[in-house]
Amino acid sequence: EIAEQHGVQAVGIGCDVTDEASVESALAALDGALPPVGALVNNAGITSPTPFLEVSGEEWDRVFAVNVRGAYNITRRVAPGMVERGFGRIVFLASVSAERGGGVFGGVAYSAAKAAQLG
């Protein structure tokens, strides 16, 4: 629909950003189908509105895996090509919770993960 409505090339590919092999597979599917990646928006994210004293280690890790490690996995893969071509833009979508702390929107794990993205 996007390609048709806007007269652009577009490809939709599913990917688990927490899994390096999934990231590699998704990007491999793009190789040759479109021009090289010139812009990346790290938009994958999850929240956890769980109060801090109730956050399990597993939940903490899950939130960081998507919000932080996921952004790292994809950025690490596309940034070298941008450097090689001398052009590229990478955007991380964080949150006001990164600056205000847990409890504002998504809980402390979410706030900490979004603060990590700002870093």
Tell me which residues are annotated as active site.
Answer: 110
Separation between Cα atoms, residue 5 and residue 117, nearest integer Å: 33
Q: Do the beta carbons of residue 45 and residue 93 sit within 8 Å?
A: yes
Separation between Cα atoms, residue 93 and residue 88, nearest integer Å: 17
Which residues lie closer than 8 Å to 31 by C-beta, 6 or more apart? none
Separation between Cα atoms, residue 24 and residue 2, nearest integer Å: 24
Q: How many CB atoms lie within 10 A of CB 107?
A: 24
